Amino acid sequence: MKKQILAVAVAGAFAVPAFAAADTNVTLFGQLQTQIVHHSASGDGGAFNSGIRMHDAGGLGAPGDGAGPSRIGVMVNHDLGNGMTALLKMESNASTQNVFAATRDAYVGLDGNFGRVVIGRTQGSYSTAGKDPLNATFMQARTNMQARTNNARLGGLNGYGNGSYLARGIRYSNDFGMVRLDLSVGVDNKPAFGPESTSHGFSGRLNFDVGPVDLYVAHSDFGDNTTAGAADTARTTKLGADWRSGPFRIVGEIEDFKFGETTYMEGNNFFVSGTYTMGRNDFVLNLGHQRLDSQQGVSMPDSDYAAIAVKHNFSNRVMAFAGVGYASTDNIGFNGSDLSFTGVGGGMRVSF
């Protein structure tokens, strides 16, 4: 008798979680990439140590394991009925050197006919990382505005640029026919002690689905957010087009930016990418240019970027790549020479 009661109790204990999970979908996901690259420099006066390095991400002349594609996380969708879903996402950076490095997305939210709203740590609406076929490799076009790595697309800017996250964000997105609206706000991201008590910023993007072309315009304004490296004025604007037809894909972007009023950085980024797909292989050519306006009568250096690569897709979960990237900035090297970096190598990316 006691054995029967125990069996019923055990069955009941397992039945309750099964019933509670019937309307819940939990997905564990992850991705890891590493690459072997020979980095070299010209115009550095011997300061840069050329040679072969193994690293997960970084840029030309700037190898590193952070800010790459490697990640691990969990996504939860809880069906609330009436077409509404509750969301939870927790995602962290990962690398071959440090499995759990830093937080990516970490939010809760709701999804329904009204659109999707998430609150927590989330990417800003300005980001369009998928538009660069070489994103998160050493050949990526993204520029770090402090390190000036690859000179073609704005860097993270603490969630207001490409490929970064708002520490405390609210993001809304929805489709309206051929138009997709994406808006995000960074709430009180300035440190508690400082000249101002709050620091809000916003970013927004509109995508227009025009047959084979995705047209998009994005803008960020975060002048009060000193944690993003800005003083009084900080704004970025992007216009882009992504065209696909058969095996061909062409992406073009123009970015306009300004940071500061007295001591400032102002200019434009120009980026174009072409991809030709043959079977499981993607052949990619990226070109970029960064033009900086004169500052207080002093001319600022311009920069150029180019990369050519091949990506082989073993499956939709496994990809290998190889290629060469080049980035050059005028007149900032040794004795006023141009400073350039070259990277030649390849890597592998596996996801689940």
Query: Residue 105: pLDDT above 60?
Result: yes
pLDDT at 1: 41
Question: What pLDDT, on a 0 to 100 scale, did the predictor assign at position 59?
Answer: 83
The residues that bridge with 216 in the sheet, in sequence order, are 207, 240
Q: Which of 314, 265, 331, 272 is nearest to 292 (CA)?
A: 265
Helix/strand/coil for 7: helix
pTM: 0.83
> Can you tell me the distance from the alpha carbon of 229 to that of 265, in angstroms, rounded to the nearest whole number?
11
Mean pLDDT of 328-338: 84
Backbone angles phi, psi at 11, to 5 degrees: -60, -40
- CA atoms of 96 and 65, how far apart (whole Å): 8
* Angle 309-311-312 from CA coordinates, rounded to 5°: 145
Q: Which of 310, 348, 281 minimizes the C-alpha distance to 32? A: 348
For the cut 70, the answer to whether the pLDDT of residue 101 exceeds it is no
3-state helix vs strand vs coil in the chain, percent to 5: 10, 55, 35
Least confident of 108-117, 188-197, 235-244, 326-335: 188-197
| Ordered domains of the chain (ranges, CATH) | 33-351 (2.40.160.10)
Q: DSSP string spanning 73-119?
A: EEEEEEEEETTEEEEEEEEEE--SS-SS--EEEEEEEEEETTEEEEE
CB 54 within 8 A of CB 35: yes
Among 295, 245, 226, residue whose Cα is nearest residue 265: 295
pLDDT tens-place string over residues 216-273: 999 999 876 655 444 578 899 999 999 999 999 999 999 999 887 666 678 999 999 9
| 11-25, 100-114, 273-287: segment of lowest average pLDDT | 11-25
pLDDT-based confidence at residue 192 (cuts at 50, 70, 90): low
The pLDDT-based confidence of 300 (bands split at 50, 70, 90) is confident
Mean pLDDT confidence for 283-310: 89
Which residues fall within 8 angstroms of residue 85, CB to CB, at 6 or more apart?
77, 78, 79, 110, 111, 112
